Homo-oligomer: A and B are copies of this chain.
Amino acid sequence: MSYKIPFSGRAHKYTDDEKEIILKAIDDAVPLTQGRYQKEFEEKFASYIGTKYAFALNNATAALELSAQLCQFKDGDQFICPSHTFTASAYPFIKKGARPVWADIDKDTRVVTLESIKRCVTKNTKAIVVVHLYGFIIPEIEDIANFAKENGIFLIEDVAQAMGTEIDEKKAGTFGDFGVFSFHSHKNITTLGEGGMLIVKDKKFADILPMLRHNGHLAWNIQRENYWTPAMGNVDLPQLNGEYLMPNNYCLGEVECALGIKLLDRLDEINKQKRARAIKFINKLVQYDILEFHKEDSLKHNYHLLVAYVKDGKRDIFMQKMSEEKSIQCVVQYYPLNRYDFYKKLGFGYANCKNTDDFFDNMVSFPFHHMMSDDEYEYLLTSTIEVLKEI
């Protein structure tokens, strides 16, 4: 089915300047991977976010896989994770041997709270994954980080949707031990559809991440007579706390990195434009209290997505009318992970997350891609009002 306003699989177009950068890198990047653009991208990203160690990766899942690997889970270890998130927030930690305990979200902000996390903690909790979902930085992230630190628990911030958000000038991703970022096609900035970044606080992690990312490659640490002896480069087995870690190949190409460097200049502007549109949308609908938005007119929210709770069990009729009468493709996100066959089969089908279930069963996510035109935006707004009047 073709919609007048689809829920776009792509967030934004590229400017002429950005296309020029792409063409430049296509011509002058030698090699086309693991080169100077990656280094510059990582440095600029680290500086933008306000951190020391940043590693460009082929996607955000790779950043989560690496975080999970660096947690070094043992038998019986658990991790806490909201069930209201994308599956890649959770499954890498299961692959690496930990069992999930599903944390509930707050009814109004749709993100986890310190209290909802505390309810999940056991003596086996080794890691907490928090997700700054929909583009909103978790208000209690600092308290959560302190709690994790006091209890010797790793904190992983999934910032895939909330890049650039901040509390008191401290950016999402810098509170935890690991900060995970995404440049996927849907995200506020995208490096040609795929891309990610991992930031870490601990130098021990930073020292081995290049090897974990790139097949165990490293330079020789010995004085060599010729540049080709004993071989061009070394391949070694990264070691952490006395244990070996197996490497991966999670490299991001140079063209994507060159583009990423440029896109960082536009991220704040895109976030600002999305926030302005969201706030206007919410304000215009204020009299229709059947829709409950989460309004936050500050750098705490980038409105990657615009979602609302539909009261009185009217979600499905709202969706139907938007789709059939207005040709607008709203969607419903994020299926509580414990309800997917995937997690049920693994024995992780149980969750005590009533806010999550209630929100998912009654929520709507509007098309909200940055490249939506002003006309389309106005059509979305007026159509929404018309449908709300009907139901």
Contact partners of A58 in chain B: CB under 8 A: 58-59, 194
Any B CB within 8 A of the CB of A62:
yes
Chain A residues numbered 207-247 whose CB sits less than 8 Å from any CB in chain B: 215-217, 226-232, 234-237, 244, 246-247
Contact partners of A236 in chain B: CB under 8 A: 340-342, 345
Any B CB within 8 A of the CB of A27:
yes
CA distance A184 to B34 in the complex (A): 11
Contact partners of A94 in chain B: CB under 8 A: 246
Interface contact B190-A230, CB-CB below 8 Å: no
Interface contact B30-A230, CB-CB below 8 Å: no
Contact partners of A87 in chain B: CB under 8 A: 215-217, 235
Nearest residue in B to A340 (C-beta to C-beta)? B235
Interface contact A33-B319, CB-CB below 8 Å: no
Any B CB within 8 A of the CB of A8:
yes
Q: What's the least CB distance linking A312 to chain B, in Å?
A: 18
Binds B, one of A137-145, A173-181, A252-260: A252-260
Given contacts A9-B32, A32-B185, A236-B342, 13 further A-B contacts (CB under 8 A): A10-B32, A33-B193, A58-B194, A87-B217, A87-B235, A91-B247, A193-B255, A226-B316, A231-B340, A232-B332, A234-B340, A237-B341, A244-B346
Instruction: Identify the A interface with B (CB < 8 A).
Output: 8-10, 13-14, 19, 22-23, 26-27, 29-33, 35, 58-59, 61-62, 65, 87-88, 91, 94-95, 184-186, 190, 192-194, 215-217, 226-232, 234-237, 244, 246-249, 251-256, 316, 319-320, 323, 330-333, 335, 337, 339-343, 345-346
